[in-house]
A and B are shown apart, each in its own frame.
Chain A
Amino acid sequence: MLAKRIIPCLDVRNGRVVKGTRFAEIQDAGDPVELAAFYDLAGADEIVFYDITASAEGRRTMIEVARRAAEQVFIPFTVGGGVSDVQQMRALLSAGADKISINSAAVRRPDLINEGAERFGSQCVVLSIDCLRRTRPDGSVWWEVVIDGGRVPTGMDVLRWAEEGVRRGAGELVLNSIDADGTKDGYDNDLNRTVAERVDVPVIASGGAGTLQHLVDGIRAGKADAVLAASIFHFGQYTIAEAKAYMRAAGIPVR
């Protein structure tokens, strides 16, 4: 049976991991590649390198990160952050990245999804959506697409954008809840379930994980195919093995 995935996400700035990590096993906790190789050995199912450098130089650094990761990381890895054209996608994929995650640039120019899917295949194109929970006057809930690191609202409905993204060729969706991000109160399971029930590609829950039960809830209540997390792993609060054991005990198929 297909396993549900646990995906640690590493924020990278100028080629270095941004948030500090606390692992005795890691010599250079700031090196994204060494950290990713550690997560591979620890049982992570995939890795996401998210470039928060907002410069061309930062993006060149990410190509080097992908190149080095291909030599030491033997699970799939995704590179995202600031990717805005197929040339950048091509450079990262040929360096060894398995998937490219696109976000604001796809909102500005949706054809980027089609172009990436046509040239490299849908399996390479991950559409990442930053989502803000909104309430209509009648009390019903919807989610608004926000871009540029969650700063700029677009008026677009997340569900509509997710469906359009899949139609255009996105192979997976990452739903990052701006409301839940950093709260450690759990994923926005309403958001993830609403989208997962309407699309036929994997949905990856992101933002808000603070406990192992949150990972289980993300899969069960949120109907996500994978859970993305950062701080609960980076700071040594839980190991990947503990997370897998907890999910397995809850009856979720894991590797």
Chain B
Amino acid sequence: MIAIIDYGMGNLRSVEKALTYVGAEAVITQDPAVLERAAGVILPGVGAFAQAMANLRAAGLIDPIHQALASGKPFLGICLGLQLLFETSEERFDDGPELPRGLGALRGRVRRFPDGLKVPQIGWNTLRFPKETRLFAGIEPGSHVYFVHSYYAEPADSSVTAAVTEYGIEYCSAVEVDNVMAVQFHPEKSSRVGLQILSNFAALCR
């Protein structure tokens, strides 16, 4: 069973239905006990970085997520769920001196796309793979996936980068380090390619 973490950041039904479609059993949950029991965990999310961290904290999910990350079980961040894995984000909550802090499972920060681009990036863009990963097994380089985002992750250690995409700049659009995987795009909205990626993840959760 794959646990999809519900913390009030966006609609999770599409993720659940896409997993069902590829033959995986998925549940939407807020319950730490379910996360602990799950064979794999998905952290989805759409919305503001600081609000997402506040919601995770309020729901008592920060420690359970760190435990899931440390447990070695497959973990997949989607969209904001990728960004939250990093240390800080330029998506400020207020004008204070501190950048909002994320989960810090990966070193690096989340940055806003440079001026002069249409932001958010909305639409289909391509993936280039700097290394071989389990998540993208069987996916052709140059495949299109669906993005909606204004911020992107800049890992301190570029060896975590599993996919690169170009939108004005080249940026990290996916990461994979051992059991920790995350994608900036929406696999549940990326047609056959996205379903294959979710199927790859589900296969690791057995």
Contacts and interface: CB of A to CB of B under 8 A. Distances in A.
Contacts of A95: 13
A2 B124 contact: yes
A71 B126 contact: no
Interface stretch (B36-44, B62-70, B89-97, B183-191): B183-191
**Residues of A in contact with B, size category:** 20 to 34
B195 to A, nearest CB: 6
A70 B195 CA distance: 13
A202 B123 contact: yes
Q: DSSP majority for the B interface?
A: mixed
A98 B79 CA distance: 14
Chain A contact residues, majority secondary structure: loop
A121 B17 CA distance: 22
Given A1-B166, A94-B13, A96-B14, A71 B20 contact: yes
Interface in A84-98: 93-96, 98
B72 to A, nearest CB: 29
Contacts of A226: 123
A171 interface: yes
A72 B21 CA distance: 8
Contacts of B124: 2-3, 5, 45, 255
A188 interface: no
Contacts, number: 74
A150 interface: no
A75 B148 CA distance: 13
A122 B120 CA distance: 9
Interface residues of B, number: 32
Contacts of A225: 118, 123
B194 interface: yes
B13 A74 contact: no
Contacts of A94: 11, 13
Contacts of A172: 122
Contacts of A121: 10, 46-47
Nearest to A5: B123
A239 B149 CA distance: 30
B189 A123 contact: no
Given A1-B166, A96-B11, A255-B144, A74 B18 contact: yes
A76 interface: yes
A95 B17 CA distance: 11
A74 B188 contact: yes
B17 A75 contact: no
A76 to B, nearest CB: 5
19 contacts: A2-B123, A2-B124, A3-B124, A5-B123, A5-B124, A40-B191, A71-B21, A75-B146, A76-B186, A94-B11, A96-B11, A96-B17, A121-B10, A123-B148, A171-B122, A200-B119, A202-B118, A202-B123, A255-B124
Interface of B: 10-11, 13-14, 17-18, 20-21, 46-47, 118-126, 144, 146, 148, 166-167, 186, 188-192, 194-195
